[in-house]
Chains A and B, each alone.
Chain A
């Protein structure tokens, strides 16, 4: 962002808030903070009617800007008299008991509490200073805080965390033991558990760099790219079907694989942003960059019979705006589709300025019936490319032959003419079965050849060539077959949906109340006026938008991004509302840390891997998650970070863990989506029956062999019927952009982990593995534990499982047929010498796979 731009940004801020108070005196605990204390109150109770949106403003009063609040509304009373709370209209109207006067109006049924009123009064008495919303000010590197526990921090990150902890009177936990630490780091950076060999290597590495070596190894693993991609696929609403109505298949796997590669190659996040949003517009864009631009083609697409193209084209653009704003700006701009935003400085005009930026894609409102919707790029392999060129040549040759005059044309035509005239003169019954000649041709035939007009001769010739000549028919059929061969082949070439720009973009209008068919004023492409302007030399198009997002001083992109990264490790972001940094969003629990992380991220060239390493190397991250229950109760969400993170694995990594420890997992990266076990009929019950045969992705046909055991991120995602192993465990259905998953704990999850054939089969293979690798029951249990949770079991734990195994052995011995049934689950066949023993160990392995510690990052 250039100086000029900064000036413009600052002048906007100055207009919005008169005196800018950037610091709050920490010594005076009674001092009210506008951003922390007052803005949420105003936002929650007042600004709906006295805010930014002038169409819904009541009484002409505006409370979001100090100047207006001091002036007051139509009544002429100053809403706020700084220093004099009891004389201020804002306080008087809250305190009054007159139902016609009291605020908020009684019908809202939301009176302020005594504490809230006290806060407001103190704020007015202290001068009613406003502050700009923190997230709209560019982050500055904050000074490092003073801490008491000087020997704990491993870097600035920890100092900020510790300062917060000390303010809360909390102490950090000691570092987690090594098995816990390596399991946590491996799950976090690869989505897979560490192998016992990896754990042993770490345990036996006596050097002071042992842990760093682990982190470096994980960051260099190609599993890292897969892990990082999963969260990006949520944000990008990536799926394998179109989502609306028939919900047939699309293929964006090339885009998905590009994301994995980008993370593995450690593409800087600014470049990644440019390519995801506008790869197609980069100078001399490569095929990969064009494919990357498919980020904003991942939205749902319809071709429902009877749907109106304009209505859905509008929906696609709206989705792009909302997704882009959520992912990069951390702002909800959707409100401004219908009216000026009530809380954040986004006008309806701003919204349609963005709309115009996304309105130039050469796409159709209704599309996708036959797979990907235009615009697409084809992605042929070299062999396919050669074959396509061969088929193109064949088409050209066949079409050229149609234009060459046939040998013996005149003779052949004359022969036909004589016959045709004879037929025409024959008795009626005999000609009934023959196709009738057109009147004009018949008339021409009846004339002497020499007497025909040029027009008549042409008509006869044309009729002969088009309808009669067997040679021409053959050539036409050859050309048609060549075209079909080429078209069929091209359809089978993989492609990807991408962004593109029309030579002449569509006109964009403000849509009245957001309705696609109510066009208002025409608008040009533009960025939100209240945020910084375009960087020097950029145009107001998608590429300009992307450059603007990653401009050095952009207040939001870096904060929003590092916050999402933080959330991956600690369960919650420093700003809990990862999707909303606006005035209605949550305040950061540690604003200085957030700004430090954001500025460091930009300073280091948006280096994504370096950023992950910074978190993993911190003392904060390395803390033990074993803590007194009182700490869990005091801070259930770990907002103060006085213990290590402890959260259940996300859907994909839960199943991956089972596949991995059982040895079933197929390691291939990328490629076509796969179809693991799914209860039969789940899709078919929802699909239109006749469409089963007319459309793709209507019948679920499970994969065979290795594809059954691919990492879960490759499971085919059908938006109208997501795989239960995903939806049961809070994975979004990818219908809209999601940057924060909930984490629930339900009995349906327990049923799935116990009974889903995927987990039963994995338990059996895990049993087979330990049966083969260890002979003694206790050693087997030790092995099971180390595979699943990374540590060795205690004697008490071992005893529980030894007893369980013994009891199950007895039970299965009484009913060996049961043992054989348990062992028969799943496609993978494993032969056991002793089925009874194997079944009993399968139950033990299943028990271990169901443990809270197994399904949790500890």
Chain B
């Protein structure tokens, strides 16, 4: 398996086919033929890796990213004993002098808060979930619950950058970009890495997002996530200008193609042929993307299961979940949703209820829908944020209100689908949901595991930049074998 380590060396890039875009400056005749002839792309390929390292259990990933840091304490990590400590100061033996964010480091009082919600057990596995997630309870036996995630980052910007790119500071490619770079796309009329954003009803002062979270860093720009939007064109500049109909566009592309072909003959530069091919692909996208985002073919039952409003004006999470299913059906390799509003510094009981109402039904519906369509067998769904929240109250604790600050020492991530154990829980936190006592899973470990499931050894998907072989997991990361099915 020598030669798996890719480098920034262009000729080596050019010897391999790439689907959605390519580096400029020359294209081999074979590659050109494949761009021109869709059939050649039926076989899985297109990335820098000549083949995957292991047989992949997962072909596609949908990551429902809960931006802001959902409270693991209130939703997933059931500690009945916390009730006894409610209102008590967090013991020093638990906090152990760990650093706090600037938002609570000045607090003089750190009263523990037990969740103000009821808990229920679900499924054969007897998974405990907050009453706020009744629909998720239905898919309890599909879930692989990791309660021992952790991160060093304690603020949003570095924490999201970290879990997405393996580094707290800007400049590295996101997971989806690494996948696009490594193994390309299955569908040449759609991008291999799609991002969709929705607004939660919880924290109205929700956290900003950055295109860095799906950026390609030092990888070529064609690997950056393509944002599918709910307003305007789903993909930027997809629609022809008003007044230019499809036959006009076709006629123009034919003329441009003729002129470009003449130029290709005159200059000898194969890049011109590649340009022709990319224009043709753009034209095909003008049909394939609207087909993808048109939900009119979905049954009323499906729309109701996800909770998508029939008038189609709902730009929220439910619609994005349904679109995610439509994307993986069409071979989009990595779909990442960002749902905002999980930053409950105050007014947590009310806000988290709203957040759960946003996501509970669609998340469960997505897993069930994928299962019914047989897609869950090779699709992995991930649900979680950048960190958890503190057991102690941020601000004052009243009878029915409180907040929680950011907490990186432990948090919960859910997975469901291909490659992971179903109805399974992993990792244990202490009685205060504060420290991990068993089986810690770092964000690097999560990323290593995701790559492993996609058939990639995380230590061997590398890119040489600034004289160093970079990889998603930096110099860290262990595959969490215990959760693999």
A contact set with B: CB distance below 8 Å: 109-111, 113, 243-247, 300, 302, 304-309, 315, 326, 332, 334-335, 343-344, 366, 517, 571, 577, 579-580, 582-586, 625-629, 631-633, 636-638, 646-648, 679-681, 685-691, 719-722, 724, 727-728, 730, 733, 735-736, 742-752, 754-757, 760, 794, 796-797, 800-801, 803-804, 807-808, 811, 815, 817-825, 839, 843, 846-847, 850-853, 856, 858
Contact = CB atoms under 8 A, between A and B. Distances in A.
B263 A851 contact: yes
Contact of A825 (B241, B255, B285): B241
A719 B271 CA distance: 30
A631 B101 contact: no
B26 A720 contact: no
A627 B271 CA distance: 13
B270 interface: yes
Contact of A629 (B2, B170, B268, B278): B268
Interface string B223-253: 0101001011101111111111101110110
A637 B26 contact: yes
B11 A746 contact: no
B338 to A, nearest CB: 9
Interface string B29-50: 1000000000000000000000
A625 B268 CA distance: 9
B448 interface: no
A633 B270 contact: yes
23 contacts: A306-B101, A306-B103, A332-B468, A580-B467, A633-B29, A636-B26, A647-B24, A686-B209, A690-B204, A720-B210, A724-B237, A733-B215, A735-B212, A742-B23, A748-B235, A752-B237, A754-B237, A803-B255, A808-B251, A819-B243, A822-B241, A822-B243, A824-B242
Contacts of B286: 751
Interface string B421-454: 0000000000000000000000000000000000
B88 interface: no
Given A308-B99, A680-B231, A751-B236, A745 B205 contact: no
Contacts of B268: 626-629, 631-632
Interface magnitude class on chain B: 35 or more
Interface stretch (B142-150, B152-160, B329-337, B359-367): B152-160
B460 interface: yes
Contact of B235 (A304, A688, A751, A760): A751
Nearest to B239: A755
Given A625-B267, A744-B21, A750-B279, A687 B208 contact: yes
Nearest to A646: B269
Main secondary structure of the interface of B (DSSP, over half): loop
Interface in B266-287: 266-272, 274-276, 278-279, 281-282, 285-286
A637 B466 contact: no
B157 A821 contact: no
B468 A745 contact: no
A374 to B, nearest CB: 19
Contacts of A113: 2
Contacts of A633: 26, 28-29, 270
B212 to A, nearest CB: 6
B278 A745 contact: yes
B220 interface: yes
A302 to B, nearest CB: 7
B221 A306 contact: no
A754 B281 CA distance: 13
A744 B170 contact: no
Nearest to A48: B469
Contacts of A843: 244, 248, 252
Given A846-B252, A852-B275, A247 B244 contact: no
Question: Which 4 pairs from chain A and chain B are nearest by CB?
Answer: A636-B26, A821-B243, A306-B101, A584-B467
A585 B199 CA distance: 45
B244 A822 contact: yes
B330 to A, nearest CB: 16
Interface string B5-27: 10011110010000011111111
Given A637-B26, A843-B248, A688 B263 contact: no
Nearest to B206: A688
